[in-house]
Amino acid sequence: MKTKNIFKLLFFFFGTLIFFSACTNELDVTPKDDDEFLSEDFYASKDSYRSALAGIYGNLSLTGTTGPASSNLQGIDAGTSQYGRTLWYLQDLAADEVIWSYENDEGGAVKAIQRNTWSASNTILLGFFSRAMFSVALTNDFLRQSTEENLAARGHSAISAEIKTYRAEARLLRALAYYHLMDLFGKAAFVTENDPIGVYQGPEYNREQLFTFIESELKAIEGDLVGSNQNEYARADKAVAWMILAKMYLNAEVYIGQNKYTECLAYSNKIINGGFSLASNYSYNFLADNDYNEAGTNEIIFPLVVDSKVTQNWGPTTVIINGEVGSLEANAVALGVDNGWGGALRVRKQFAEKFLNGDVPLTDTRNTLTTEGREIEIADVGDRDAGYIISKYKNLNVDGSRGGVHFEFVNTDFPLFRLADVYLMYAEAVVRGGSGGTMGEAVGYVNALRNRANSATITDNDLTLNFLIDERSRELHWEGHRRQDLVRFSLFTGGNYNWVWKGGSTNGIALSSHLNVYPMPANNMAANPNLTQNPGY
């Protein structure tokens, strides 16, 4: 009797144990939220490829998926990891065109950039490097997911032609990221879609290797891209590929020590003849409706999208427009925002002087300086009343109405590449001895810009390198080009051109040449031992 009960008990016990063991498959959980999917489920729908492509483009403007304050990069907040903004900081804030008033932001990182006293632990360097490499990672994933095999396996072979274009654009965005990394840091970790996801540590590519890769990439995808100025708004086309190539060739002496001005002219011509034209008014390029106004349709080659409703971000135009509001002028409404940031941005003396004839401002329409009631000197960086301010970017439409209804976010896109730049690149390549262009054409292009700006025209004799470096500033200031230009002209480091607060000194001091390249950020280097520090750091 007793034995029988024991057996019954043991049977019951082991039975329950087996039953419970079956519960172990409960340990396999899946996403329950409606915004999160297993990657395989995400790609089950045909529309998801467009969504994924929008994700790669989105990385140029967005910092996360849940609003402008969200950050999908860790340890860096949305403000210091936005692609356009950190690019603008590293190219424009580090030189003579602008100065930021709140120097204790980001633990002093902004102060270090604008005074050229940065170190490898600077948060803004970390932010840009991580954000650009994130573009690389997103492209790699898209390329893995959109192979012919995967399309066939999911039954999406019908859209294979459209996907081909998407793939080309994704590769272009990856090449763009590497181009920026090559320019700013001189090296990057090289990761492609053939490398595993997880903790893979890509090998270090120096400027030569990156140059070769970007060049071959862009030429390889050129055929698959949509024709010049023919793709839908915000998407890249052949002209963007040509632009990157033209920029690389123009700067080839800096990157690889070779003279490639002829190649630069070849691609500049392609863009100039690629269906673009100058807007009738300079300012149209920097208004809230620069997605669809004359400049947006004809002159801007590639914008970074900003929208106060659907693409909210604290990107370059949000920062610039809110920062332009002067501490004395309180001109927020005139710039299209409610309050601004109390005079966050001012210009340095050397920049202002490019628009002054002695004390008299030039009538050039590119001159938006406010000089009244202000001194040109900035003795104390924190004093927001000192120094001149400008009003180049506005959150107003061509008709003067306000862009969107948000008190702080703007609608103004950031014009990453535009035709006016190509005109000046053409002129510069000619002056530097490239073949495929004539002096006459070069002068003609420069004068086209000057005519648009109601400024006096120039002659062949006036077209010198000294003139060009200043003219580039007059035309392209605050558009993310300045440092690259000064480096190419050997004026960034050394003492040939000193601007106020250069090197942290009131009137500027000479900089050591190792500062021509930014240091590899310490965190990125620590995570990938293949990366080495740049000399001098």
Site for other proteins in 34-93 (CB under 8 A): 34-40, 42-43, 48, 50-52, 54-55, 57-58, 61-62, 64-68, 70, 72-77, 79-80
CA distance 429 to 246: 10
Q: Which stretch binds other proteins (CB under 8 A): 135-143, 150-158, 425-433, 479-487?
A: 135-143
Options 18, 149, 161, 196; binder of other proteins; rule CB under 8 A: 196
162 binds other proteins (CB under 8 A): no
Stretch that binds other proteins, among 146-154, 282-290, 308-316, 352-360 (CB under 8 A): 308-316
Query: How do strand 389-390 and strand 369-370 relate by DSSP bridges?
Result: antiparallel
* Cα 294 to Cα 453: distance, rounded to the nearest angstrom: 16
The answer to whether 353 contacts other proteins (rule: CB under 8 A) is no
Q: What's the half-sphere exposure (Cβ side, CA atoms, 13 Å) at 517?
A: 21
Distance CA 176, CA 136 (A): 9
Is 206 a binding residue for other proteins by CB under 8 A? The answer is: no
Within 171-190, the residues that bind other proteins by CB under 8 A are: 189
Neighbouring C-alpha atoms within 13 Å toward the C-beta of 52: 25
Among residues 11 and 233, whose Cβ is nearest to other proteins?
233
The half-sphere exposure of 21 on its side-chain side, counting CA atoms within 13 A, is 6
CA dist list (Å): 55 to 236, 302, 494 = 14, 17, 41
- Shortest Cβ distance from residue 267 to other proteins (Å)? 26
Site residues for other proteins, window 316-345 (CB under 8 A)?
Answer: 327, 330, 333, 338-342
Please report whether residue 399 would count as binding other proteins according to CB under 8 A.
no
Q: Which residues contact residue 274 at a Cβ distance below 8 angstroms, ignoring those fewer than 6 apart?
A: 228, 229, 238, 239, 242
Shortest Å distance, C-beta 39 to other proteins: 4
Instruction: Give least dist CB 102 to other proteins, A.
Output: 8
439 binds other proteins (CB under 8 A): no
The distance of closest approach from Cβ of residue 44 to other proteins in the complex, given in angstroms and rounded to an integer, is 11
Shortest CB 349 distance to other proteins, Å: 19
- Pick the binder of other proteins from 262, 281, 523, 534 (CB under 8 A): 523
Residue 83's nearest CA partner among 56, 52, 59 is 59
Half-sphere exposure of 28 (CA within 13 A, CB side): 5
Give exposure, 329-345, as e/b (b: 16+ Cβ within 10 Å): beebeebbbeebbebbb
Q: Which of 253, 254, 151, 270 is nearest to 219 (CA)?
A: 270
| 30 near other proteins (CB under 8 A) | yes
Residue 19 neighbours by CB under 8 Å, 6+ apart: none
Residues 226-255 that bind other proteins (CB under 8 A): 232-235
Size of the site for other proteins (CB under 8 A): 119
Judged by CB under 8 A, does residue 121 bind other proteins? yes
Site for other proteins in 448-487 (CB under 8 A): none
Q: CB-wise, 48 or 268, nearer to other proteins?
A: 48
373 lies in the site for other proteins, by CB under 8 A? no
Contact between 323 and 89 under an 8 Å Cβ cutoff? The reply is no
Q: Is residue 405 exposed (0-12), middle (13-18) or buried (19+ Cβ within 10 Å)?
A: exposed
Site for other proteins in 264-303 (CB under 8 A): 291
Check binding of 201 to other proteins (CB under 8 A). Answer: yes
Q: Is 375 in the site for other proteins (CB under 8 A)?
A: no
Q: What is the nearest approach in angstroms of other proteins to the Cβ of residue 35?
A: 5
Binding other proteins by CB under 8 A: which of 88, 100, 134, 414? 134
User: Which range, of 116-124, 247-255, 353-361, 426-434, touches other proteins by CB under 8 A?
Assistant: 116-124
Q: How far is the CB of 260 from other proteins (least distance, A)?
A: 27
CA-derived radius of gyration, the chain: 26
Q: Which stretch binds other proteins (CB under 8 A): 20-28, 273-281, 294-302, 417-425?
A: 20-28
How many whole angstroms separate alpha carbon 176 and alpha carbon 268? 17
Residue 20 touching other proteins (CB under 8 A): yes
Nearest alpha carbon to residue 313 among 81, 101, 55: 81
The burial class, CB within 10 Å (0-12 / 13-18 / 19+), for 55 is: middle
Tell me if 533 contacts other proteins by CB under 8 A: no
